[in-house]
Amino acid sequence: MVGTMPDVQPLVDEFITKLNRRQVEGSLDTAKLALVLLRQVISAQRIPPNSPANTLIEAIKSVGVRMIAANPIELAVGNIVRRVLHIIREEDASLATTVVTGVTTAVDSDDEDNLDIREQASSHAVAAANRSVLRAPSLHNLLESMPNPIRADVTVASTGDSDARSRSGDKNSRSWKLKHNVIESINELLVELQDYHSQVAEQALEHIHQNEVILTLGRSRTLLHFLLGAKKKRSFQVVVAEGSPRFQGHKLAKELTAEKLSTTLITDSAVFAMISRVNMVIVGAHAVMANGGVLAPVGLHMVALAARRHAVPFVVLTGLHKLCPLYPHNPYSLLNDMKSPSEVLDFGEFSDCLNGATGGPQCHVFNPTFDYIPPELVSLFITDTGGHNPSYVYRLVAEFYSPEDIVLQ
Amino acid sequence: MALKRATRATDIGDDEADVPLQAVLLADSFAQQFRPITDERPKVLLPLVNVPMIDYTLEWLASAGVEEVLVFCCAHAKQVTSYLEHSRWTSQSNFTVTPIESRDCVSAGDALRVIDQRNVVRGDFILISGDTVSNMSLKEVLKEHQERRRKDKLAVMTMVFRRSKPHPLIHQTRLGNEELLLVIDPSTKQLLHFDSLKEAGGRESARQQTLARQVVLERSILADRPAVQLCLDVQDCYIDICSPEVLLLFTDNFDYQHLRRDFVKGLLSDEVMGNKIYTHEIFGDYAARIDNMRAYDVVSKDIIHRWTYPMVPDIRFASPETGIKIGRSNIYKEDGVVLAPTTVIGPSTVLGTGTSIGDKSIVRNSVIGRGCTIGSNVNIEGSHIWNNVTVGDNVQIRHAVICDGVVLKSGAIIEPGVLLSFKVVIGENFTVPAYSKISLVRQRPEEDSSDEELEYAEAASGVAESPPSPFYDGRVVNGSPAHGGDELPESPRWDPSEVGIAGAGCNWSAGQDEEWRHSVAPIPSERIREIVAREEEGELEDDARDMTASSTNDNIAEQVDDDEADEEDESAFFDKEVEALFRRAVTGEAGAHEDHVVLEVNSLKLAYDRSFSDCAGAMFTALLNLASERPHTTSRDLLQNCRQVVVQWGPLLRRFLKSQDDEMEVLLVFEEICVEDNREFAPIFASVLQELYDKDVISEEAIIAWASEKQQADESDKVFVKQCERFIQWLEEASEEDEDDEDEE
Amino acid sequence: MRRSPFLLFDPSLDNSSSRADSEEGGMAVNNVQTESSPFYDERMGLNSNLLTGPVTFEWLSQAEDARLNGSSDAFQPFLDKAAQSAEAAMNGDHASSRFSVINEFNIWRQKPELAEAVAAIKALTCVIRRSEATTMMGLEIELKKAAETLKMWDKTSISLSAGCDLFMRYVTRTSALEYEDISAGKSRLIERGEKFGEISLKARQTIANLGQEFVYDGSLILTHGYSRVVLALLKLAASQGKRFQVVCTEGRPDNTGLEMAKELMGAKIPMMLILDAGVANMMGQIDMVLLGAEGVVESGGVINHIGTYQTALVARSMNKPVYVAAESYKFARLFPLDQMDMSPTPRIVDLAVPAQEENIKIQTSERDYTPPQYLTLLFTDLGILTPSAVSDELIQLYL
């Protein structure tokens, strides 16, 4: 399957090795790169006339699985892959229904005979089936067939035949149409990603008010845009916790002061002391899980708890590319990235404590990248599509992902 | 850091757009630390946390933006090359691996000469060996190097160092290689002096070492430099950024063998050429070379503790197809590991796919390869177990390295530091003693453990052509490469005393005496204790020497006082001083403890450059003087005094009687005294002597020897011998008697 | 007496299908007048005279095997009576067919591995088979009656009513796809009905697959009562080589926890048995609580074997995740606001009281309601849902 597109293969491999070496960082960039790559894959994929959707889906899956395996911690990759798969399914289904309706209308215009009735019935069935394919499994279709890809294929294939019977020869045109539509909507998605920052920043004014004190930890580009967006009309204070061990907070503080925002830099350990004076905590996220839980730079769980203690709203800025349809099974070990301890302490200084040669106890250093923040600690998600409640996240998931893609292997 | 890593790959490319960045990788350590394993498989293909070492090196080079790697293979060249062919490195975009084969190289020097002949190196290159694990960014060091080069063509090489405190007691870094001493110009980072201190072993070397600590620098080094920096806490990463000239230098001086011992020192020593070596210290990043078993152990621990990120087990840079999960406290589990419900997996452990572990088994701080079968009630601690190893029930393995295809029958006990090479079989309930190395390959008689020898066993013969390591495509094919026990040339009859009943393999005699320094096992505490003891002695020697210095000084002063000081005077001085010391001891003055007396006498001895016997003599005189000073009227109570003195101070005197000669010296001195200084001792000579004997200050042999010596002397001298004739006779009989006893037994 | 949830959410009230409404509505209204179902009248009576009379061993043993085989045949006499009376109450005039849907239902219910809802749908399928209605509409009305009968007969069984509602909903929707001839429609419905058993099994599988992800190595899992789904989930996880331990409560009064324990032992899953009262004592070491459910209500909360509520409360107070595994056909259209909102479900409980003492009141409720805020996630065949997602599903279906 992958073999059918030799020209993109090297690109894919390169991207995968990059992911593997952790040379692509930041979920937004990763998402963009992945999306562009998948678009290339699709455009390079030559599509057989019958069941074109599945060829595409298979192609994407085979690439996607490898990309995800290359860096399972960067969830953005998986999200994008699933988004693309969803897009393909959607486009395909819409095509199918249009075709079907086309058929039925044609039939109705003719004079009745029982063949047409069967035709009609089947067309209804097909339409229903297609709907069911699109829809998440729900009480509606519980008693109908369980929607699964295989069945989807069958129906799709049948429609393929039916419209072949009605007007033959335009198979290719149809598969071409599918491909075209898919690439179209991928481009839309790409645009979405591009002006994600501005989209989020636009909403800043609704959330940040005059003379408020905002607390944050570490640095995220989204956050920077958001604050600057608010600064256009409001004057407010920002308290930045440095965010050890990577100390991104220092950078943020620099940038903010450069933008003439009154900024205070504190240590992470001072957060609790500070929180009572704060009106709102705004932070960036690494990923949002399907239950509304958040993966965010390490230290934020403490901040969230502190905020909860003083009833300070804890607001998370995130984009839909960070929305992950998975649930945090064991977030502390599975979804976390354990970086090198050298960020935490200087090897040279401690090399004798790390020395196991004498059989004595060693000093172990532990350097996780992320915290998992349970949904009940999050007050609000601000995404490029507006603000959402943690309990609403599952709706977004249902909206943007097809259930059969959630498990790719 | 993350950002740095992100940009790394690209930036190096445009640092020098014209020449692709090259690296020379020596896939042969030209050393023997890993024998006997390396007789069957080249070191660079040995698994380090289930991944061949060379993959770490190549992965690092690739991700650091190196475009072409020249892999120099020597021992087992076939294995290495065929591994590379089948590896994914061949299929990498803008990263090429070119093997260079040569059989007759015996050192890194030769290798580089060969490379020079082939002239494949076009520009500056990175010189490393295939057992280097690192995640350092080459960006800065390359930039530095190239800038220096622009300024001055003679800056031919930049060595990478990393701070790492050596062990305070056993002077070696945690990687087990010996402590380095560098002299660096702090401003320019130029390397001025490179010296590796000899390992501390035995009292002698302890002293040596203290000597070696006194580094000697040429004046030229110190000239026109405001400051120089002496570093004792650095570790050589064996990562060198070299200019093409380096190769020429090797070709020019064909006697350069070892990269450090010959090349670096040579370069630093010769003023004529004026080539300069510079240093680069890395802080955040990791870099280490595995050139002995301890290093192997330590580095794999570092990998498990993620110092080498992103080269860690759960990022599958080597074999992406096997999924692996990391649990809390660094437990890495590949998919398809089968554990019994009651198995206990301790912290810092890696389990390879296809491995199954039985009930109630405990695995801690260990790496277990792929396809291993481990029985129940097994206890594995701090060990490295490679692929397809079979471990029976109730086996104990502590701090051992166990290669592919080894079979441990149930009840076997593997003690710390053991190394079992490929396909060795250990019989039931057999205990493999600590630090033993067992292999199916017989140890070749002409075994000289100079690490300057090639690591291969008859590379031309069967071994090199043998089916190489199972690491192609990470999949586990049957474990070990060379020498299935069946196709062994030698007699397949193995000695049960070495490997137990129905075992297979033969024991290799330990190369160097101090196995424990470089084995995977942690250094046993008693070792450390004795070293501490030695050290202290060493220290003692030191202060002794210091005192020497001081006392020589005041000695000089004295000499200033009276010019015509000659030999006797000096000896007189000596005797006086000793006596003075002794008196202080007797009167128990300011901290004049026995040991101190010994110490000071020692120092005097050095100062006046006397022998122990002199000291003994002096001391003895002092004793007698003491005795004679004590109030006495008759010779009887004088004897009484002598008894007391001997009882009290005999032991002290004894400490100066290192040998029989010393004792005889004492006797002679005694005679002398009786004859000249203090005649009142004459009558009681015999009884005092007997006293000395009883308090065994003086051994019977000494006395007998003394007597026999006196036989030839003229009558006047024999007077005392005569006096104690009976005593001596008795002694002789006694000694004869117990000789007879011995005969009878 | 107290308002019953059925008053608030009678399916027939908001039933979108056209003509039936008027009379159905009427029926619904006089359903409401009859507060508790005839079946339970019988049972109550039985209980009362049990409690007044001395507690005899026979009674206990009877109660025991009542549990063991689907809690039905011990009461067979009462059941039949109940059936008659219910029939009478329901379709007194429409007594054309002497076939009793309730008996049918009970027959199906004997089968192990068959959830109540499935049994109900099977029963309804039989109704379709036997009905000689000539139009889809007729068939639909007939079915409605049968469904009502079932629900009336045992009001308190959530899954039963849920099953009926679900099937009825489906019927209306299929007939909405105006099939020309009744036979086609009938056959389609029957086929679906027949399939449903298998569908429910499949659902169980899906849930197991989704849920086992949450069981991680070395975890200690607390269960309460007996649940086929939970069992399937744990078995699957174990079969995937995960090493975990299960803590079962005994699950008084009918000791369903023991059942669970037996099954787990059979599956070679290391397991520990504790008292219902020992939950809090144990909770400290527990990693997650995994529960089944009799019914999932619109609030996203669950109705389940008594003791579930307290387990969830304890878990919450110790910040342990509480997962509920339930097939989607258990989604019931109830909205209990508190424990009182559930119709009484008396049960024979042997609290060791001297039966002579009439003035001792015994609260014998069989199940309790756990509000959504104490649940972390629900594993359903519709995917993993947050409690708030449940109401969505229900709304989508019935509005």
pLDDT (tens digit, 9 = 90+) per residue, A26-47?
Answer: 888 999 999 999 998 888 887 7
Is the peptide bond prior to C253 cis by the omega test (within 30 degrees of 0)?
A: yes
Tokens 């030229």 belong to residue: B220
Q: Per the CB < 8 Å rule, is A391 touching C192?
A: no
To the question of domain C215-351+362-398 being in CATH 3.30.360.10, the answer is no
| Residues making up chain A, counted from first to last | 409
Identify whether A122 is part of a domain: no
A183, A256: one domain: no
Q: What average pLDDT does this structure show over B275-296?
A: 88
State residue A379's pLDDT score: 95
Position A159 in a domain? no
Identify which of B3, B309, B523 has the shortest CB distance to residue A358: B523
- Contact assessment for residue C342 and residue C332, using Cβ atoms and an 8 Å cutoff: no
Interface test with A, best of C204, C221, C388 (most A CBs within 10 A): C388
* A363 in the same domain as A293: yes
What is the C-alpha R_g of chain B?
34
Q: Which of B329, B334, B335, B339 to mutate to test the interface with C (most CBs of C within 10 A)?
A: B339
Residue-wise DSSP of C146-188: HHHHHHHHTTT-HHHHHHHHHHHHHHHHHHHS--SSHHHHHHH
Average pLDDT, stretch C354-381?
81
Weakest-pLDDT range from A21-35, B249-263, C152-166: C152-166
Query: What count of CB pairs under 8 Å joins B to C?
Result: 8
Contact B499, B430 (CB under 8 A): yes
Handedness of CA B226, B232, B233, B235 (dihedral sign): positive
The reply to whether residue C386 touches residue A124, judged by beta carbons under 8 angstroms, is no
Which residue has better confidence, C286 or C84? C286
Render the burial of A306-343: b for 16+ CB within 10 Å, e for the rest.
Answer: bbbeeebebbbbbbbbbbbbbbbebbebbbbbbbbbbb
- Per DSSP, helices labelled H in chain C are 5-8, 21-33, 38-52, 57-68, 76-91, 101-110, 116-130, 136-153, 158-176, 182-212, 228-239, 256-266, 279-283, 308-317, 387-398
Domain assignment of residue A28, yes or no: yes
The pLDDT, as a whole number, for residue B606 is 72
Contact B87, B54 (CB under 8 A): no
* Min distance B485 CA to chain A CA atoms (Å): 34
Residue B219 pLDDT > 80:
no
Count Cβ atoms below 10 Å from residue B104 Cβ, excluding itself: 9
Residues 203-242 of C with CB under 8 A from B: 217, 241
Q: Of the residues B294, B316, B337, which one is the last residue of a structural domain?
A: B294
Token output for B327: 């649990």
Q: Is A4 in the same domain as A54?
A: yes
Min Cα distance C53 → chain A (Å) is: 47
- Six-digit token string for C214: 């949450």
Q: What is the DSSP letter of A314?
A: E
What is the pLDDT, as a whole number, of residue B461? Answer: 37
Q: Which of C215, C217, C268, C287 to mutate to test the interface with B (most CBs of B within 10 A)?
A: C217
pLDDT number for residue C178: 60
CATH of the domain at A57: 1.20.120.420
Q: How far is CA A354 from the centre of its chain?
A: 40
Q: With respect to residue A114, please indicate whether it lies within any of the assigned structural domains.
A: no
- Domain-embedded: residue A312: yes
Query: Closest Cα of chain A to C197: distance in Å?
Result: 10
The length of chain C, given as a count of residues: 399
Q: CA geometry: angle at C64 spanning C61 and C66, to 5°?
A: 110
Q: Is A139 exposed, middle or buried (0-12, 13-18, 19+ CB in 10 A)?
A: buried
Residue located via tokens 């909507």:
A185
A241 plus A176 within the same structural domain: no
**pLDDT score recorded for residue B705:** 79
∠A160-A164-A170 over CA atoms, to 5°?
95
Query: What CATH code is carried by the domain that includes residue A327?
Result: 3.40.50.10470
Query: Radius of gyration over alpha carbons of chain C, in Å?
Result: 21
pLDDT at C331: 86
Query: Is the pLDDT reported for residue B196 higher than 60?
Result: yes
Q: Which positions in chain A touch C214 (Cβ < 8 Å)?
A: 327, 329
Higher-pLDDT residue of C34, C386: C386
Chain A positions touching B310 (Cβ under 8 A) are 20-22
For A85, phi then psi, to 5°, come to -55, -45
Q: Identify all chain C residues contacting B341, using CB atoms and an 8 Å cutoff.
A: 243, 270
Binding partners of C (≥3 Cβ pairs within 8 A) = A, B
> Per-residue confidence at B538, pLDDT binned at 50, 70, 90?
low
Nearest chain C residue to A125, by CA = C177
What is the extent of the structural domain holding A258?
Answer: 208-400
Residue A72, token pair as written in the block: 């399972």
Q: Which residues pair with B234 in a beta bridge?
A: B163
Q: What integer is the mean pLDDT of B197-209?
A: 46
Going by C-alpha positions, the residue among C117, C188, C202, C139 that lies closest to residue C380 is C202
Residue finishing a domain among B268, B294, B320: B294
- Cα angle: B251, vertex B257, B261; to 5 degrees: 120
**For B578-617, how does the pLDDT look when each residue is reduced to its tens digit (9 = 90+)?**
777 777 777 765 455 667 777 777 777 777 777 777 777 7
C-alpha C11/C-alpha C16 separation (Å) is 9
Enumerate the residues of chain C whose CB falls inside 8 A of the CB of residue B338: 241
**Is residue A201 assigned to a domain?**
no
pLDDT score for B213: 57
Domain assignment present for residue A128? The answer is no
Give the ipTM of the model, two decimals please.
0.76
pLDDT band at B103 (very low <50, low <70, confident <90, very high): confident
pLDDT at A289 over 80: yes
Q: Select from A115, A114, A136, A134 the least CA-distant residue to A126.
A: A134
Q: pLDDT band at residue C348, thresholds of 50, 70 and 90?
A: low
pLDDT of residue A172: 64
Inform me whether the pLDDT recorded for B452 exceeds 60: no
Residue C131 clears pLDDT 90, i.e. is over it: no
pLDDT-based confidence at residue B393 (cuts at 50, 70, 90): very high
Specify the amino acid at residue B245.
E
Residue A276 is predicted with a pLDDT of 93
- B300 within a domain of the structure (yes/no): no
Chain-chain contact of B341 with C243 (C-beta, under 8 angstroms): yes
Q: Exposed (0-12), middle (13-18) or buried (19+): which is B379, by Cβ within 10 Å?
A: middle
* Mean pLDDT rounded to a whole number for chain C: 73
Bigger pLDDT: B573 vs B157: B157
* Predicted local confidence at residue C35, as pLDDT: 44
Confidence of residue B737 (pLDDT cuts 50, 70, 90): low
Mark C102-137 as b/e (b = at least 16 C-beta within 10 Å): bebbbebbeeeebbbbbbbbbbbbbbbeebeeeebe
Would you call B338 an interface residue with chain C, using a CB distance cutoff of 8 Å? yes
- Same-domain check for residues A261 and A372: yes
Which has the closest alpha carbon to B723: B707, B700, B712? Answer: B707
What whole-number percentage of chain C has pLDDT above 70? 68
pLDDT(B205) > 60: no
Helix axes C76-91, C101-110, angle to 10 degrees: 140
Contact A339, B4 (CB under 8 A): no
At C322, list the tokens.
């509480």
C295-296/C302-305 β-pairing? antiparallel
DSSP state of A354: T
* Residue A141, pLDDT score: 63
The residue range of the domain holding B634 is 570-743
Whole-number percent of chain A with pLDDT over 70 = 77
Number of structural domains (chain B) is 2
Q: SS3 of C335, please? A: coil
pLDDT of residue C279: 94
> How confident is the model at residue C46, as a pLDDT?
43
Write a three-state SS string for B408-426: ECCCCEECCCCEECCCCEE
| Residue A305 pLDDT grade (very low, low, confident, very high; cuts 50, 70, 90) | very high
A95-99, B262-266, C91-95, C106-110: range with highest mean pLDDT: B262-266
Q: What percent of chain B has pLDDT over 70?
A: 77
pLDDT at C399: 59
Q: Which residue has the higher pLDDT, B61 or B449?
A: B61
Choose the final residue of a domain: B294, B310, B339.
B294
Least confident of A63-77, A197-211, B633-647, C83-97: C83-97
Please enumerate in sequence order all residues whose Cβ is within 8 A of that of B580, keeping only pairs 6 or more positions apart, or say none: none
Looking at the predicted structure, is the pLDDT value of residue B464 above 80? no
State the pLDDT confidence band at C177, using cuts at 50, 70 and 90.
low
Task: Supply the pLDDT for residue B202.
Answer: 39
- Indicate if A190 and A298 belong to the same structural domain: no
Handedness of CA A97, A101, A106, A111 (dihedral sign): positive
Are A67 and A178 found together in one domain?
yes
Whether residue A276 is contained in a domain is answered as yes
Q: Do A142 and C386 touch (CB under 8 A)?
A: no
Is residue B676 predicted with pLDDT exceeding 80?
Answer: no
Average pLDDT over residues B271-289: 85
- Across the interface, do C214 and A291 touch by the CB < 8 Å criterion? no
Q: What is the mean predicted confidence (pLDDT) over B330-358?
A: 89
CA distance B671 to A120: 138
> Any chain A CB within 8 A of the CB of C331?
yes
Contact present, C234 and C221 (Cβ < 8 Å): yes
Assign B436 a pLDDT band (cuts: 50, 70, 90).
Answer: confident
Number of domains in chain A: 2
Residue B203 has pLDDT above 80, yes or no: no
C152 and C127 Cβ atoms separated by less than 8 Å: no
Locate the domains of chain C by residue range.
99-203, 215-351+362-398
Weakest mean pLDDT among B64-78, B180-194, C69-83, C346-360: C69-83
CATH code of the domain covering residue B695:
1.25.40.180
Of residues A116 and B36, more confidence is placed in B36
Residue B608 has a CB neighbour count (10 Å cut-off) of 20
Q: Name the CATH superfamily, with its identifier, for domain C99-203.
A: translation initiation factor eif-2b, domain 1 (1.20.120.420)
- The β-bridge partners of B51 are B48
pLDDT digits (tens, 9 = 90+) for A110-151: 444 444 444 444 545 554 544 444 445 566 666 654 444 333
On whether both A295 and A367 belong to a single domain, the answer is yes
A243: left (phi over 0), alpha (psi -120 to 50) or beta: left
pLDDT value at position B201?
41
- Is the pLDDT at B457 greater than 60? The verdict is no
Number of Cβ atoms within 10 Å of the Cβ of B694:
13
Q: Which residues of A touch B306 (CB under 8 A)?
A: 338-341, 367
Confidence band of A329 (pLDDT split at 50, 70, 90): confident
pLDDT at site C318? 94
pLDDT, average across residues A66-75: 87
| Chain A partners (3+ C-beta pairs within 8 A) | B, C
Tell whether the torsion through CA atoms of A350, A356, A362 and A364 is positive or negative: positive
Neighbours of A304 (CB within 10 A): 25
Q: For residues A288 and A400, what is the distance between their CA atoms, to the nearest angstrom?
A: 14
Identify the pLDDT of residue A158. 41
